[in-house]
Amino acid sequence: MTTALFEARGVTKRFGGLTALHQVDFVLDRGIASIIGPNGAGKTTLFNIFTGLYAADEGGVAFQGRPLLGLRPDQITALGVCRTFQNIRLFANMTALENVLVGMHARIGLRVWDVLARAPRFHQTEAALQARAVALLERVGLRGDPNAVARNLPYGDQRRLEIARALAAGPALLLLDEPTAGMTQGEAGELMGLLRALVADLGLALILIEHNMRVVMEVSDRVTVLDHGEKIAEGPPREVQADPRVIEAYLGTAARQRRPRAAR
Amino acid sequence: MDVPLLIGIFPQVLLDGLILGFMYALIALGYTMVYGVLEFINFAHSEIFIVGAFVGVEILLGLKGAGWLESLPWPLVLLLLLVAAMTVSGLLAVTVERVAYRPLRSAPRLIPLISAIGVSFFLQDLIRLVESVWRNAFNLVYPTLDALNHRFELTETLDVSVKSLVVIVAALAMLWVLHMLVNRTKIGTAVRAVAEDQAAASLMGIDVNRIISLTFLIGGAMGGAAGVLFGVQYGLINPYSGFIPGLKAFTAAVLGGIGNIPGAMVGGIVLGLLEAFAASYLGLLTGGAFGAEYKDIFAFSVLILILVFRPKGLLGEIVRERA
Amino acid sequence: MTRAALAIGLIAASAWAVATFPRSVLVFLLFQGSLLHAYLAPIPRWLRVALLAAALLVLMPVIGAYNGYYLEVATQVGIFVALALGLNIVVGLAGLLDLGYVAFFAVGAYSWAIFGSPHANLIFGGGFPLAAGWFWAFLVVGLLVAAGAGVLLGLPVLRLRGDYLAIVTLGFGEVIRVLANNLDKPINITNGPKGITPISRPPVPFDVSYAEAFYFLVLAIVGVVILVNRRLEDSHVGRAWEAIREDELAAQAMGVPLVRSKLLAFACGASFAGVMGVVFSAKQVFINPESFTFLESIGVLAMVILGGMGSIPGAVVGATVVTVLNLQVLKGLSLWLNELKNAGVTVFGLSLADLPTQLEPAKYERMIFGMILVLMMIFRPQGIFPVRRRARELAGKS
C-alpha cells in the first residue's frame, strides 16, 4: 500500500487549559480538500501545525512518507508544503516580483561565494528565477504591474500574489487559508477557476480553509468539518452539507430539530 | 582557600548586596512600569535616575554653602532631597515622553528605542553642560552628613552605617507606597488596565495619554529617589554614572519579570546579592586572577543568560496580549 | 553642460581654496560638499566617476601632502564608512539592532595588536612581533575572527525579539570592553588599560608616507566593502534579509531559514569591522580599550541612521557627516572658542574669558549623537538618502 501524499493522525493541540484540537485525522492524496467549521473550530491551528508554526502535543504528521513534526517552517516549505495566511502577510514594501522571488528561496542553490563573485552561474540562476517569477504572476492572473509595490496592489491582486508566492517554491501540496475572504462572488468564482487550473496543470494537491460555502461546494472533492477542535464529519460536499451534526454545529440544536429527516 | 575568611565576610557581603539590591529595585521600577504599559525600554531612565542624584548634590552643596547643613536635622534634609529629586526626575521623565516618545508611538518598535538611546546620550551631555556652566565641575562629591556616616557595630565583623539603613528603609517605604498606588487606588487600576489592553481601556473612558504620562511620572520619581540614595551611599557622581546602574537595573527588571512590579523588586534584590557576592568572592576564589572588576561582566552575563533561557523572568512577565 | 561645468568648478575651486587656506575647517567642508554635489548632480555617469576618482585618488592625496591633518580626517572618515556599511547590513538590511557593534572592531584590532607587536612575547615567550608583512595575512585573520565572534554572539541571541536583542548586544559590547580592560591577568592578553604598543605597520612601496599609504589602503577596503554590500543586497540573500525585516514569520513560512540568514548578516557586518580593526591598530600604532566603548557603537549607529538604514550612499554620507562633525566641527569650535577667550572678546558685556574652563565643545560628542538619533527618528526616520523601500515603509506607518 502506497503512503498517501499527506497524512495527519491523532493531532492534538492544547493551549494551557484549552484543547484547540483533539485527535484529528486528515489524509489527502490528490485533488482539493476543504476544511470548514465555525469560528474557533481550530482550522488555522491545524494549518499552523501542518506547516510547523506550532508543535502538536500528540499525533503525527507526514508528507510523502516523511514525518513533519519537529521540523521548522522553512524546512517544511523546502520539502514541498507551502501556505498562504488568513490575514494577508505579503512583504508590503517589496514589489510583487520580489515577493515571489523570496518564495523561491528554498530552491535556490547558490552559495554566498557565487553571489559575491558574481559567477556566471549566479547570473544564469537569477535570470531563470526572474523569468519564472514573471510566468507565475501571469499564471495567477495578476493584473497589476509586477514591479508595483505589494501594498499598492488592489485586494484581489494581493490575494493572487500570495498564491503566486506560495507556488514559487514548487510545492506538491498547497495550503490556502481563506483565499476568497473579502472577495465578491464573481472574484471568488474566478479564483476557484484558477485553483482548479493549478491542480490540473501542476498536479498540486490543495487544502482550503473556507467560509464561503458556495466555493466549497463547487470546487472541493472532499470536505472535512471541524467543530471545537474535533472532526465531526468528512466526505463529498453534498453529504456533508446535509449531515445533521454539521448543521447543528453551525446553526445550533434548534436548526437541527427543524429538519428531522436524516441525511439523504 | 581561607574558608573562615570566606564565611567571616559573608554577613557584610549579604548586607552590601541587599543595599545594592534595593537601589536596583527602585531604578528597575521605572523600567518595568514603562515596559508594562508601552512594551518599550525607556533607555533614558538611567539619566532620569542620575539627574535625581545631581538635584540632591546641588541642594546639599547649596545648603552647605549657606551654612545651614549642620544645623538642620538630617531626616529633614534627606526628605527635602528626596522630594526635590523625585519631582525633578518625574517631570523630566514626563517631558521626555511627550517630546521624544509620543510622536513615535505608532512607529515600528525599534524607532522609539533608538530615540530613547538618543535621549539618554543627550541628557548625559546636557547634565555635563549645565554643571560645567553652573559649577565649572561635573564630577561631584556628596557633602558628608556625619549623622549618616555613623556606623553601628552589629557583630564583630559586621557593621552597618546609618545611611545604609536609611537606603533600605526609604526603598521599602517607596515600594510599599507604589504597591498601594497600583493595586488599591482607582488610578492604579487605570494604569493596570492600560498596561493590559490600551484600546479596551480607552473605550472604557480612560485617558490613555494621561495614564502613560502618569506612569512615566511615577517611574521617573522612583528613579530620582534612587539617585539621591545612590549619591548618599556612594558619594561620587558624574553625568555618566547612570549608564551602568541603569543597565543593571534593567537586567533586574527582566530577571524578575518585565512589567511585573513585585518582580522588579525581587529581581533587584537578587541581582544586588549576586553582584555583591561576585565582587567579594570572585577574587578570593580565583586567587586574585579575576576580581571585583569583573562584577559588571557578571551582571551582563546574567542579563544574557536570562534573556536566552528564561525571558519571562523569575516571576513571569506581564505584558499586553498580542493581537 | 552647465551642470558639468558647475560640478567640475566646485571641486576645483574648493580644492584650490583648501590649498590656499590650509587651516580653515570651513573650506575643507566645502571641498567635501563639492564631492557630494558631484555624486548627486545630474551629470553623465562617466563624468561623475571621473570627478570622484580624480578627487579621491589625486586631489585628496595632494592636499594631504601639504596638510597631514586633512588626510588624517579623510582616513578616519574612510574607516568609519566601512564600519557604517557593516552595521548597515545588520541594522538596515536585516533589521537587527546591534548596539555592541564596536566589539567586532575591537576584536579585529586586538588580533593584530597582540601578534604584530612585542606584546605577544609576554604570552608566548618570544618570536614576536611577526614580520610586518604579516599584516596582510592578518587582514584576513581579523575578518575571520570577527566573523566568528559574530556567529558566536548570534547563535544564542538571534531568536530574541528586537528590543531584547538590542540590549543583549549592548551587554556583549560592554563585556568585550571590560575584558579588554582586565585581561592582563592571569595571562596578559590585552595589557589592560595600558593598551598595546608599538604595533607594526605594513611595509610601504615607493617611498610613500605612511599617512598616504593608509589613506589609499582604507579607500581600497571601502571600495571592496561597498562592492560586497551591493552584491549581497542585489541577490536572494539581500531579498531574504528584507523579507525578514518586513515579516519574519511569513519569511520563514516562505522558506527563508531565519537563524542562518540572520547569522549571515551578523557575520558579514562583523567581518567588515574586523578588517578595519586590523587597519586601525596598524595605523594608530597604539590601541587601548578607550577606543572601543559604547560611545563608538552609538556613533556608528548614528551614522547609519543619519544616512538612511539600508542605504549604501546613506552610510557613506552619514559616516562622513558624523566624523567630520566630531573631528573637525566640534574641535574647531573648541579651538575657536579658545582663541576668542585668549583674545579677550566680550559678548553682551560678558568677557568670554570668564567662561568656565570645563566647557569644551570638543567633548560634547554624546550630545551630537543624541540629537541626531532623536531628531532623525522624529522627523526623518528613513534617513538623508533613504532606500526607496525604507521610505515607503516608514511613510506608510505614520
Q: Where are the domains of chain B?
A: 3-142+156-309
Give, for C113, the enclosing helix (H) or strand (E).
Answer: helix C102-115
A13 Cβ partners below 8 Å, 6+ apart?
A19, A20, A21, A42, A45, A49, A54, A56, A57, A229
Task: Please tell me the distance from the alpha carbon of residue C358 to that of residue B299, in angstroms, as a whole number.
Answer: 33
Q: Which candidate from A73, A92, A94 shows the least CB-CB separation from C253?
A: A73
A119 close to C (CB below 8 A): no
Residue A256 in this model has a pLDDT that exceeds 70: no
CA distances from B109 to A189, A234, B106, C397 (A): 40, 45, 8, 11
Interface of B with C in 147-186 (CB under 8 A): none
Residues facing residue A176 across a β-bridge: A208
Task: Please tell me the distance from the alpha carbon of residue C317 to that of residue C85, in angstroms, as a whole number.
Answer: 11
Q: How does C7-36 read in b/e, with b if 16+ C-beta sit within 10 Å?
A: bbebbeebbebbeeeeeebebbbbbbebbe
Residues facing residue A63 across a β-bridge: A6, A66
Residue C301 in this model has a pLDDT that exceeds 70: yes
| Crossing angle of helices A155-167 and A185-202, rounded to 10° | 20
Residue in chain C closest to B120 (alpha carbons) equals: C370
How is residue B211 written as a grid cell?
495614564
Q: Identify all chain C residues contacting B122, using CB atoms and an 8 Å cutoff.
A: 366-367, 370-371, 374
B296 close to C (CB below 8 A): yes
Output the pLDDT for position B321.
47
Contact A188, A215 (CB under 8 A): yes
Residue A223 in 3-state DSSP?
strand
**What's the whole-number mean pLDDT along residues B28-48?**
92
Q: Identify all chain B residues contacting C166, using CB atoms and an 8 Å cutoff.
A: 41, 110, 113
CA distances from C129 to A256, B164, C116, C194, C204 (A): 90, 52, 5, 18, 18
Output the pLDDT for position A128.
93
Residue A34 in 3-state DSSP?
strand
Which residue of C228, C233, C234, C236 to mutate against A (max A Cβ within 10 Å)? C236
Please give, rounded to a whole number of angstroms, the shortest distance from the CA of C246 to a CA of chain A.
6
Give, for A73, the enclosing helix (H) or strand (E).
Answer: helix A73-79
Q: Which of C226, C313, C95 is nearest to A93 (CA)?
A: C95
Interface of B with C in 117-136 (CB under 8 A): 117-126, 128-129, 132-133, 136
Residue B232 in this model has a pLDDT that exceeds 60: yes
Residue C258 in this model has a pLDDT that exceeds 80: yes
Q: Identify all chain C residues contacting A85, using CB atoms and an 8 Å cutoff.
A: 250, 253
Residue A259 in this model has a pLDDT that exceeds 60: no
Chains B and A touch (3+ CB pairs under 8 A): no
Residue B88 in this model has a pLDDT that exceeds 90: yes
Interface of A with C in 193-232 (CB under 8 A): none
Contact assignment for A91 to C251 by CB distance below 8 Å:
yes
Which chains, if any, share at least 3 CB pairs under 8 A with chain A? C
**What's the whole-number mean pLDDT along residues B141-152?**
80
Residue A263 in this model has a pLDDT that exceeds 60: no
Output the pLDDT for position B212.
93
Which residue of C377, C393, C394 to mutate against B (max B Cβ within 10 Å)? C377
Please give, rounded to a whole number of angstroms, the shortest distance from the CA of C88 to a CA of chain B.
15
**What's the whole-number mean pLDDT along residues A189-193?**
90
Question: Can you list the alpha helix ranges (DSSP code H) found in chain B?
Answer: 3-8, 10-38, 45-66, 74-96, 110-135, 146-149, 162-184, 186-196, 198-203, 208-234, 243-256, 261-285, 295-309
Residue A208 in 3-state DSSP?
strand
Please give, rounded to a whole number of angstroms, the shortest distance from the CA of B102 to a CA of chain C.
10
**What's the whole-number mean pLDDT along residues C274-297?**
92
Output the pLDDT for position C332.
79
Q: Which candidate from A94, A106, A129 shows the least CB-CB separation from C246?
A: A94
What confidence tens digit (pLDDT) does each residue in C62-90 have? 888 777 788 888 899 999 999 999 999 99
HSE-CB of A257 using CA atoms within 13 angstroms: 3
By the 10 Å C-beta count (0-12 exposed, 13-18 middle, 19+ buried), B70 is classed as: exposed
The string of DSSP letters for C345-391 reads -EETTEEGGGS-TT--GGGTHHHHHHHHHHHHHHH-TT-SS--HHHH
By the 10 Å C-beta count (0-12 exposed, 13-18 middle, 19+ buried), C42 is classed as: exposed
Residue in chain A closest to C238 (alpha carbons) equals: A102
Output the pLDDT for position B164.
83
Residue A225 in 3-state DSSP?
strand
B206 vs C106: which has the higher pLDDT = C106
Tell me, what DSSP letter sits at residue C161? -
| Euclidean distance between the first and the last CA atom of chain A, given in angstroms as a whole number | 32
A115 close to C (CB below 8 A): yes
Looking at the domain B3-142+156-309, which fold is it?
Answer: ABC transporter involved in vitamin B12 uptake, BtuC (1.10.3470)
Backbone φ, ψ for residue A169 (5° rounding): -85, 10
Q: Identify all chain A residues contacting C89, using CB atoms and an 8 Å cutoff.
A: none
C175 close to B (CB below 8 A): yes
Give the range with max mean pLDDT: A126-130, A186-190, C192-196: A126-130
Residue C212 in this model has a pLDDT that exceeds 50: yes
Interface of C with B in 285-304 (CB under 8 A): 294, 298, 301
CA A5 to chain centre: 15
Q: Which of B232, B283, B250, B254 is nearest to B30 (CA)?
A: B250
Question: Can you list the alpha helix ranges (DSSP code H) found in B162-260?
Answer: 162-184, 186-196, 198-203, 208-234, 243-256
Tell me, what DSSP letter sits at residue A262? P
Residue in chain A closest to C225 (alpha carbons) equals: A116
Task: Please tell me the distance from the alpha carbon of residue C351 to that of residue C330, in angstroms, as a whole number.
Answer: 22
Contact assignment for B132 to C356 by CB distance below 8 Å:
yes
**What's the whole-number mean pLDDT along residues C243-258?**
92
Residue B322 in this model has a pLDDT that exceeds 50: no
C197 vs B219: which has the higher pLDDT = B219
Rounded percentage of chain B residues whose pLDDT exceeds 90: 41
B297 close to C (CB below 8 A): yes
Task: Please tell me the distance from the alpha carbon of residue B223 to that of residue B174, in angstroms, as a whole number.
Answer: 11
CA distances from B150 to A211, B146, B199, C58, C378 (A): 77, 6, 53, 71, 50
Residue A31 in 3-state DSSP?
strand
